[in-house]
Structure 1
Amino acid sequence: MQKITSLPADDALPGWYHTSRARTPRPAHVGQKKARWAIVGAGLTGLAAARQLALNFPNDEVVLIEAQEVGFGSAGRNAGFAIDVPHDIGAKDYIGDVGIASKVLKLNTVGQDYLKAIVAEHQIECQMVDAGKYQAAVGAPGIAILEAYRSGLAKIGRETEMIAGKDLPDHLGTSYYKQALYIPGTVLLQPSALVKGLADSLPSNVTLYENTPITDIDYGDKVTLIHANGKITADTLILANNGFASHFGFLKGRLLPTFLYGSLTRQLTEDEQRRLGGKPVWGVIPAHPFGSTIRRTLDNRILVRNSFSFYPDGRPRAKQLESYKRNHRKSFARRFPMLKGVDFEYSWSGAICLSDNHEGFFGKLAPNVYGALCCNGLGITRGTATGKLLADMIAGERNDTIDFLLASPGPNKTPPEPFLSIGVNSVLKWGHFRAGLEV
């Protein structure tokens, strides 16, 4: 019997969740349940795995279990970039090995295309826009990164456009950035609205239980998931719960639950929109990986996302959110002096699962347990793709992309505590400092 020592406990004001369509959560599980398939985690990976598994095995019931409400957790707390292109921060040109980069591009495109098709088929209202992304820089070091990235993207056949600072206000409204690399292909969306829509359009043979945190698990010939009001027994379990997989007994000491922090403004008035100018929808990724991600949304809000912290239990701390909200205000004021009266309406933390070597896990964890885990910050596209492809692999399919995922060495082993937390948080603080005005 495995005791689950940490459960999700996200803070209360994720802006995407509160500004998206309200829905009635599916009931929590009560009593005894048996099924062939069970999936833990109804984020992007779990939803994709459940959908594809149900399509691959139409006569089987697929049970999908979520500890909180769908759209409230990590999948609804990211910045809403469905990115196709690779971005290897460990390589000089941010692409590295061209063969691997091409496979990563193909993998991300699988996830992006899968989401586009589902959104179109079920008319999911999630502000999905093929807007591309701007990789933007404030200073000379950042501009050098943009030049290197442009060169790297050219190696895999991706066209880009370098935009001078004097022209950027026509794109972004703000004159804060000195140069930007525009990269077509990224889709911008409202992440919580997407996840809610995916959950409400699942095939009829998927049973979704929300607000059902698993407290114990028994691995045997069958897997028994135990919670406060009953238990669910399945022939096969799929873990799609990222950093929390370590609390289920797998990849211990290999996953790095890292929190980023976001704030979302109220909607801009028509006068404020005129003062800002630029395009009506855009997204900026910082040249420096520790800088600020900024978005202007389809419903005329501004998102600011920056600052990092690491907590191995996967649970945020309220004091950090309060501290980092001040960082958001400073970042906003630097970029948008024309919007002095605009306040943040929501602020929140959201976890991503990282690994030391930037590798995820895909495949079999135990004889009747599979996992698609650790997306390293690309949850929308990579999480969706790996969830779908894992369900296909279980159904007997093999292709080059599945083989590419199976060939991964998986996440590296990390140092023990307390050295791990001290080291990771020191790296995050130093990175934030070095980013300078990119924050």
Structure 2
Amino acid sequence: MQKVTSLPGDDAMPGWYHTSAARTPRPAHTGQKSARWAIVGAGLTGLAAARQLALNFPDDEVVLIEAQEVGFGSAGRNAGFAIDVPHDIGAKDYIGDVTTANLILRLNTLGQNYLRSIVAEHNIDCQLAEAGKYQAAVGAPGIAILEAYRSGLEKIGREAQMIDAQDLPEHIGTSYYKKALYIPGTVLVQPSALVKGLAETLPANVTLYENTPVTAVDYGDKITLVHEKGTITADKLLLTNNAFAAHFGFLQGRLLPTFLYGSLTRQLTPEEQARLGGKPVWGVIPAHPFGSTIRRTADNRILVRNSFGFHPDGRPRVKNLPRYRATHRKSFERRFPMLSEVDFEYTWSGAICLSQNHEGFFGQLAPNVYGALCCNGLGITRGTATGMLLADLIAGKRHELIDFLLASPGPDRTPPQPFLSIGVSSVLKWGQFRAGLEV
């Protein structure tokens, strides 16, 4: 019996969750249950895997288990960018090997198109906007990054438009940035609304249990998942719970649960919207990876997302929220001095699962256990695509993208503690310092 050594415990005020339509959570599981398929983790990867597995095996029940409420956890706490283009921060042109980059582009586009089709079919209200993204720079080092990235994008046939400082207010309202690279193709969403909508439209042969944290697992001939009020036994288990897979006994010493922090303003008044100007919906990614992500949403709020923390147990530290909220305030006021009276309504943390070599895991973890894990910050597109493709792999389907994922070496092993925490925390602090005014 493998004891689960840490469970999700997210902080209480994720803005996307509270500003999206309320839904009634599915009941927690009680008693004993058996099914052919069980999936742990009802984020974007788990929802995609459950949907596709149910379609591949229409006569089987698929049990999807979520420790918290759908839309409240990590999948509902990101910045809402469904990005198609690759961005290899280790390559000089941020693209690297063209063959690999084109496969990543196809993988991300598969995830995008899968979500587009479900949102359209079920009329999911998640503020989906074909808005593209602005990669924006404040100083000369950031502008050099933009120029390098534009040249890399040209190698894979993706056009991007460089926008000068004097023209940027027409796009994003603020004159803070000196240059931006506009890259069409990114889709912006309200992430919690998206995840809630995906959960509400699952096929009839998917049974979703929320607020059912698994506390132990017996990896026998059949898989038995133990929780406080019962057990669920399955022939096959899929883990789609990112860094928490390490607490289920897999990829230990290979996953880096890293937290980013976001704040969301109240809704802007019509007068404030006019004062801001620019397009009604947009998203800015920083040129420097440790800078601030900024969004204007369809319901006229401003998101600021920056600041990093590393917590190996996968649980945030609520005591840090006031400090990061103060950082968000400074970032907001630098960019939007015309909105100095606009307050934040929500501040929260959100986990991403990183690896040292920027590789995820896809495939079989053990007999009867499979995983699609570690999206390295691309949970919306890559998580959706890998969840869908894992269900296809299990069903015996093979094509080029599945082979590409299976060929990955997977996440590298990290140094042991306490050197890991010291090292990662130092890298995060140094990165945020180097980002300078892009924070």
Give yes or no for the alignment of 1:334 onto 2:334. yes
Give the drift of 1:16: 0.1
**Superposed displacement of residue 231, structure 1:** 0.2
How far did residue 35 of structure 1 move? 0.2
| SS at structure 1 position matched to 2:35 | strand
Residue 3 of structure 2 corresponds to which residue in structure 1?
A: 3
Structure 1 residue 275 corresponds to structure 2 residue 275: yes
Aligned to 1:91: 91
- Counterpart of 2:250? 250
3-state secondary structure, aligned to 1:51: helix
Query: Which whole-Å deviations, capped at 9, do the CAs of 1:124-147 have from their partners, x for residues lacking one?
Result: 000000000000000000000000
The answer on 1:171 being equivalent to 2:171 is yes
The equivalent of 1:202 in structure 2 is 202
Q: 1:348 maps to what in 2?
A: 348
Tell me the alpha carbon deviations over residues 198-246 of structure 1, each in whole angstroms, 9 at most, x when there is no partner. Answer: 0000000000000000001000000000000000000000000000000
Tell me the percent identity: 82
Query: If the length of structure 2 is used for normalisation, what is the TM-score?
Result: 1.00
Shift of 1:367: 1.1
Deviations 1:164-223 (A, max 9, x none): 000000000000000000000000000000000000000000000000000010000000
Distance (Å, rounded) in 1 between the aligned partners of 2:86 and 2:135? 13
What residue in structure 1 maps to residue 223 of structure 2? 223
Residues 370-385 of structure 1: pairs in structure 2 closer than 5 A? 370-385=370-385
> Which position in structure 1 is the counterpart of 2:367?
367
Q: Deviations over 1:242-265 (max 9, x none)?
A: 000000000000000000000000
Q: CA deviation at 1:319?
A: 1.8
- Which residue number in structure 1 is paired with residue 405 of structure 2? 405
2:41 maps to which residue?
41
Q: Compute the displacement of 1:354 (Å).
A: 0.1
Structure 2: tracts of 5 or more residues without a match: none
Counterpart residue number, 1:149: 149
Residue 392 of structure 1 pairs with residue 365 of structure 2: no
Task: List aligned pairs for 1:299-318, cutoff 5 A.
Answer: 299-318=299-318
1:129 and 1:65 map into 2 onto residues whose CA distance is: 30
Give the Cα separation in 2 of the matches to 1:309 and 1:269: 33
**Per-residue deviation at 1:318?**
1.2
CA apart distance, 1:152: 0.2
In 2, the alpha carbon distance for the partners of 1:89 and 1:334 equals 26
Q: Secondary structure at the match of 1:217?
A: strand
Q: Which residue does the alignment assign to 1:124?
A: 124
2:357 aligned counterpart, secondary structure: coil
Residue 322 of structure 2 is matched in structure 1 by 322
SS of the residue corresponding to residue 46 of structure 1 reads helix
Aligned-partner SS, 1:237: strand
| Match status 1:103 vs 2:115 | no
Query: What's the secondary structure of 1:347's corresponding residue?
Result: strand
CA distance in 1, matches of 2:399, 2:318: 44
Aligned to 1:26: 26
| Cα distance between partner residues in 1 of 2:279 and 2:110 | 28
Report the CA distance between 1:322 and its aligned residue.
1.6
Q: Deviations over 1:65-118 (max 9, x none)?
A: 000000000000000000000000000100000000000000000100000000
SS in 2 for 1:120: helix
* Partner Cα distance (1:66, 1:230) in 2: 14
Question: Matched residue of 2:214: which SS?
Answer: coil
The amino acid of 2:20's aligned partner reads S
1:266 aligns with 2:266: yes
Please name the residue that 1:64 is paired with. 64
**Alpha-carbon distance, 1:320 to partner:** 1.6
SS at match of 1:215: strand
Partner of 1:140: 140
